[in-house]
Amino acid sequence: MIYGKKPCVRCLLEEAGRQDVSQSVKAAVDKIPDSQKTGEMEYEKRLEICRECEFLTEGTCLKCGCYVELRAARKDSRCPYKTKW
Ligand code: SF4
């Protein structure tokens, strides 16, 4: 059992102190071809919805196990739970 730091709910990776994973996710997002990438405004809108979601914990969606910053970056991707976005 792990004691100490509580998971940061409502946080994306960098805000949760997960800089190592955050860098990897940003690198993966950068590799998505522009034609498949979500527009900047839509991307921010999706992440704001995730920040308010009860299933977000330390940047991970508990409904699908994805890092939301990566999942939201593909324009054809959808929220796995009742299509919040
Ligand atoms: S992808 Fe959907 S279910 Fe997952 S954290 Fe974001 S809003 Fe919530």
> What are the pLDDT digits (tens) for 24-74?
999 999 999 999 999 999 999 999 999 999 999 999 999 999 999 999 999
Q: Is 19 exposed, middle or buried (0-12, 13-18, 19+ CB in 10 A)?
A: exposed
Q: How far is the CA of 70 from the centre of ligand 1 (A)?
A: 12
Residue 8, pLDDT above cutoff 70 = yes
3-state SS class at 67: strand
24: phi then psi, degrees, rounded to nearest 5: -65, -40
Instruction: Give pLDDT, residue 21.
Output: 92
Question: Which ligand 1 atom minimizes the distance to the CA of 71?
Answer: 1
- pLDDT of 18 over the 80 cut: yes
Mutating to test ligand 1, I would choose from 10, 12, 55, 57 the residue with most ligand atoms within 8 A of its C-beta, which is 55
Q: What integer pLDDT is reported at residue 4 of this predicted model?
A: 66
Residue with the smallest CA separation from ligand 1 atom 2 is 79
The pLDDT score that the predictor gives to residue 37 is 98
| pLDDT band at residue 78 under the 50/70/90 scheme | very high
What pLDDT does residue 1 have?
A: 43
